Structure 1
């Protein structure tokens, strides 16, 4: 027969922390210390950097200018201002969008952070 296990609770899991101290193992992160303080879990701690990511902003400006150049080149190929095939124009159009969109997005975040608009900070830009 199945052995009775009084320490196993067969109820729905609770998120409010209604576990009893004697039911948790001694190494559990939910168990409080003796003086009443809980251990801080470093997985949920995030320190916002206070520095400006200049290399990421330079990369964003480079992608923005490269994407603009490719889009302008594809426009000139489509309108026959430059000699070339339409397949070349589609290639430049695709590469232009792939380079322009992330460059514009990061440059916009950097500009709004520089202007100190609400909701924007340099911590939103990933640092290299």
Structure 2
């Protein structure tokens, strides 16, 4: 692809006050608004994510111990705990790491 070497760009004319320091009258309030909900830390959501993460981890460990024979139990119980462990672990991990 050929490049243009002889092109010169010139700045556009600026209206008065457009790029100067904005005052209160120049600020568009539609874009300056931030609700208080964005400034607060969602402690309940963080607690839920940690709870799901710990619950899923413990269920996964229980299923591992049943599979390896360190705990007594049927393989169907181990598969059930494995499934429930994944169901609890993945949303907790997603929220905890994603935030």
1:51 equivalent in structure 2: 40
Equivalence for 1:125:
none
The structure in which a higher percent of residues are helix is: 2
Report the secondary structure of 2:38's partner residue. Answer: coil
Cα distance between partner residues in 2 of 1:95 and 1:81: 20
Give runs of ≥4 in structure 1 deviating > 4 Å.
none
Please list the CA deviations of residues 91-119 of structure 1 after superposition, one character each: whole Å capped at 9, or x if unmatched: 00000000000000111123xxxxxxxxx
TM-score when normalising by structure 2: 0.62
Q: Report how many aligned residue pairs link the two structures.
A: 66
Is residue 85 from structure 1 mapped to residue 74 from structure 2 by the alignment?
yes
> What residue is the counterpart of 2:60 in the other structure?
71
Q: Counterpart of 1:99?
A: 88
Gaps of 5+ in 2: 1-29
TM-score, normalising length from structure 1? Answer: 0.48
Q: CA RMSD in A?
A: 1.8
More contact order relative to length (CA 8 Å, sep ≥ 6): 2
Deviations 1:53-72 (A, max 9, x none): 00000000000000000000
**Contiguous gaps of at least 5 residues in structure 1:** 1-39, 41-45, 111-128
Rounded to whole Å, the distance in 2 between the matches of 1:54 and 1:80 is: 39
Provide the rounded CA distance (Å) in 2 between the counterparts of 1:106 and 1:55: 12
